[in-house]
């Protein structure tokens, strides 16, 4: 074998990478479909033999693909490349299953001794799939493709994953069908990830975050956007309301790391992305792990910036969640004179701004005990000690002030809630006594449970009003 250059395209600027690949494809100089198929068949056999030889020598598993059929080539050139024959690059193709990234690197080094190789590195999708792609340049100038998979990934892709991908991308399908396809795809590939050598996850480093930005003026006010960061391999997501364009405080409204991927620093990396975007950010936190990540990133209690991490943990035990904000956000709140949310059950009970009752105009909040004999010793009539309700009323309500309740049996969301995906998370707002609004994500499943709980509480309170 003669040595040929190995180009690591993953290290190139995106524009340089595109220019390189465009140049390589243009230099194929394909005359017509017949020329493409004739050259492709010869190169495909040669590439298949080379892949098999190297894979067997290093202990990897060769994945030999059939030669792409003429009808498929014509379809792809017509629909994807607008008739440009030089754009197609996978008539000659194949791949391997590598036991670990080290073996994958060894394969790349070996095949680069025979062909000019452009290594595009590992790529991930928002459906949980990942692979490593090599562009092979043959002696006649034609281009081929080699993919490197982790064990089981190729089989999952070709047996089921590709069909799920096509369904997800098909915009003629109902949105529920497309979401289900995405969810099933993530489940499919996560099952593969569970069985992989941990070196694969270390190689990927969970650093390839997808970023999506959407205008949110209709929901959160003029000049706002929702920004979503997603780590596609684990399916971890962070969503925040970006108010930096109007010099206001941005709010993290969702942070979700699947349980099996926790403890690997993914949540911290997601939060770090937000802190890089804006220095004025706050967010409601109910998990101690998330609280530690936020604390390490410099966020502090709004009403007690000097509180230690242990004190924050105690707040979470007492209130179920806390609002942690960056120093710039706390400074902004101080300048605007906005008081922090209630920080304890006593604050809630003694607040002069809390008015109304639990069913009677003559009943004051002070007359209601947080351990009412009607409800029992383990259940608080004042919600909030063990859930979002009350202190953090995720359904924009407060049982202490029923004038602010907006759960309506005729509300389209409530009427159609049984048709929604139970794992779908929706942002619900709450306001503190000074009118400061924040947002908390809540799954459809937990929302339904909260609605039923609220109904039961209200039914019991009918017997204790005066």
Q: What is the pLDDT of residue 194?
A: 79
Domains assigned to the chain:
6-168 (3.30.460.10), 210-336 (3.40.630.30), 352-461 (no CATH)
Banded model confidence at residue 436, pLDDT cuts 50, 70, 90: low
Q: Average of pLDDT values for 45-63? A: 96
Q: What is the pLDDT of residue 131?
A: 93
Q: Average of pLDDT values for 122-151? A: 91
Q: What is the pLDDT of residue 366?
A: 37
Spatial distance between the Cα atoms of 145 and 120, rounded to a whole number of angstroms: 11
**Total count of residues recorded for the chain:** 466
Q: What is the pLDDT of residue 67?
A: 87
Instruction: Please provide residue 431's backbone torsions phi and psi, each rounded to the nearest 5 degrees.
Output: -125, 140
For the cut 90, the answer to whether the pLDDT of residue 300 exceeds it is: yes
For the cut 90, the answer to whether the pLDDT of residue 52 exceeds it is: yes
Q: What is the pLDDT of residue 43?
A: 95
> Residue 166: left if φ>0, alpha if ψ -120 to 50, beta else—which one?
alpha
Q: What is the pLDDT of residue 79?
A: 86
Q: Which is higher by pLDDT, 275 or 443?
A: 275
Beta-strand relationship, 250-256 and 281-285: parallel
Beta-strand relationship, 300-301 and 281-285: unpaired
Banded model confidence at residue 381, pLDDT cuts 50, 70, 90: very low
Spatial distance between the Cα atoms of 454 and 426, rounded to a whole number of angstroms: 19
* Span of 15-24, 199-208, 388-397 with lowest mean pLDDT: 388-397
Q: Give the tens place of pLDDT for each residue, 280-295.
A: 999 888 888 888 888 9
Q: Give the tens place of pLDDT for each residue, 19-43.
A: 888 899 999 999 999 999 999 999 9
Q: Give the tens place of pLDDT for each residue, 237-263.
A: 899 999 988 888 999 888 888 887 877
């Amino acid at each position: 074998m003669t040595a040929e250059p190995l180009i690591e395209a993953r290290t190139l600027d995106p524009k340089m990478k595109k220019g390189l690949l465009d140049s390589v494809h243009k230099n194929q100089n394909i005359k017509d479909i017949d020329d493409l198929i004739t050259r492709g068949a010869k190169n495909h056999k040669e590439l298949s033999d080379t892949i098999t030889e190297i894979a067997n020598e290093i202990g990897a598993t060769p994945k030999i693909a059939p030669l792409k059929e003429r009808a498929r080539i014509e379809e792809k050139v017509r629909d994807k490349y607008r008739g440009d024959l030089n754009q197609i690059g996978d008539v000659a193709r194949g791949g391997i299953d590598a036991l670990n990234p080290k073996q994958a690197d060894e394969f790349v080094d070996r095949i680069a001794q025979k062909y000019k190789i452009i290594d595009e590195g590992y790529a991930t999708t928002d459906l949980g799939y990942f692979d490593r792609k090599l562009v092979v340049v043959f002696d006649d100038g034609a281009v081929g493709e080699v993919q490197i998979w982790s064990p089981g990934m190729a089989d999952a892709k070709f047996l089921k994953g590709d069909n799920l991908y096509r369904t997800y991308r098909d915009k003629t399908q109902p949105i529920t069908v497309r979401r289900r396809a995405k969810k099933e795809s993530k489940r499919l590939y996560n099952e593969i990830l569970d069985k992989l050598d941990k070196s694969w996850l270390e190689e990927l480093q969970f650093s390839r975050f997808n970023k999506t930005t959407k205008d949110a003026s209709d929901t959160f006010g003029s000049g706002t956007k929702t920004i979503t960061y997603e780590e596609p391999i684990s399916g971890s997501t962070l969503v925040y309301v970006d108010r930096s364009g109007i010099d206001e405080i941005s709010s993290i409204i969702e942070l979700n790391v699947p349980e099996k991927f926790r403890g690997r620093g993914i949540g911290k990396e997601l939060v770090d992305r937000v802190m890089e975007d804006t220095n004025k950010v706050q967010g409601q936190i109910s998990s101690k792990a998330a609280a530690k990540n936020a604390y390490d990133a410099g966020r502090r209690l709004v009403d007690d910036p000097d509180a230690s991490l242990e004190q924050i943990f105690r707040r979470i035990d007492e209130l179920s969640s806390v609002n942690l904000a960056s120093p710039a956000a706390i400074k902004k709140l101080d300048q605007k004179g906005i008081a922090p949310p209630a920080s304890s059950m006593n604050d809630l009970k003694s607040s002069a701004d809390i008015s109304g009752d639990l069913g009677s105009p003559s009943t004051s909040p002070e007359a209601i005990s947080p351990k009412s004999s009607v409800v029992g010793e383990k259940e608080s009539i004042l919600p909030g000690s063990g859930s979002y309700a009350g202190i953090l009323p995720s359904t924009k309500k407060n049982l202490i002030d029923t004038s602010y309740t907006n759960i309506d049996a005729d509300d389209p969301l409530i009427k159609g809630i049984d048709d929604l995906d139970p794992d779908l998370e929706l942002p619900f707002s709450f306001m503190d006594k000074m009118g400061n609004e924040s947002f908390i994500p809540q799954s459809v499943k937990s929302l339904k449970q909260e609605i039923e709980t609220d109904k039961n509480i209200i039914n019991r309170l009918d017997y204790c009003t005066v």
